[in-house]
Amino acid sequence: MAVNGEVQGKSGLIIGASRGLGRGLSLELLQRGWTITATVRSVRGAGCEAYEAHHGQLTMDTLDINLPSMIDAFMCRIEGKLFDVVFIVAGVGDPEGKTVETVSSEDVVHLIMTNAISPIRLAHRLLPYIRPETGILAFMSSFLGSVEANTTGVSSLYSASKAALNSLTRSFVATMPRQDITVLNIHPGWVRTSIGGATADIDVETSVAGIADILEAKAGMGGQHFLDYKGNAIPW
């Protein structure tokens, strides 16, 4: 985009940016010249200091995706903004060591709300704030959310939550009131974060560099795509 002869960077809204992939992706896009609005649940949380070098391009805000009153207040604060990318990264891992047989109902509700229901509710509210034609709405999914690729049964509850997210995003796209934008379900790789664990395959920097490349390459592509961080298609 050119304004007064100068090339302007893109703008992104990253939901769930206190740590891990959300923080890493925000920092990667900031380094690429993007203007970023990054949300955290609490500004007292660790991680905000990583953003200090980028204060000119950055707006920090607070949002818990499970709290409707926080969403209402957040929507007021972003009134009038338009983003090239809205990326809902926030999510939670498997309830520690639990299976369908042993997990509590409360933990199931929290898992499904956070990983599947709240992202869709939020996407409905954020749709008008995505740039026409070239805008991207992205959800942080997982390879483990692929029903077709599920041959191991690993992390069954978490897998089910991401499969639910994938299914709900497809219903959302099929019925959303605008069809001009691109919708991406992204598998970030198996990444060393608190969800991925210390023995995961790749570091945050590798994953988010690939994701940022995809966000820059897919603008204007249209449709919905389930891709890994290298841009490879994943079966639903």
Number of residues that bind ligand NAP (CB under 6 A): 28
Please tell me whether residue 210 binds ligand NAP under the rule CB under 6 A. Answer: no
Spatial contact of 129 and 78, defined as CB atoms under 8 Å apart: yes
Residues 73-102 that bind ligand NAP (CB under 6 A): 89-92
Q: Which is nearer to ligand NAP, 123 or 134 (CB)?
A: 123
Nearest CA-CA partner of 92 in 16, 187, 204, 12? 16
Q: In sequence order, which residues have a C-beta less than 8 Å from that of residue 182 and are 6 or more positions away?
A: 135, 136, 137, 218, 219, 220, 221, 222, 223, 224, 225
Residue 115 has phi, psi (to 5 degrees) of: -90, -20
Q: Tell me, what DSSP letter sits at residue 1? A: -
Please tell me whether residue 224 binds ligand NAP under the rule CB under 6 A. Answer: no
CB of 86 to ligand NAP, least distance (A): 14
CB of 106 to ligand NAP, least distance (A): 14
Please tell me whether residue 20 binds ligand NAP under the rule CB under 6 A. Answer: yes
Please tell me whether residue 68 binds ligand NAP under the rule CB under 6 A. Answer: no
Binding site for ligand NAP (CB under 6 A): 16, 18-22, 41, 45, 63-66, 89-92, 114, 140, 142, 187-188, 190-191, 193-196, 200
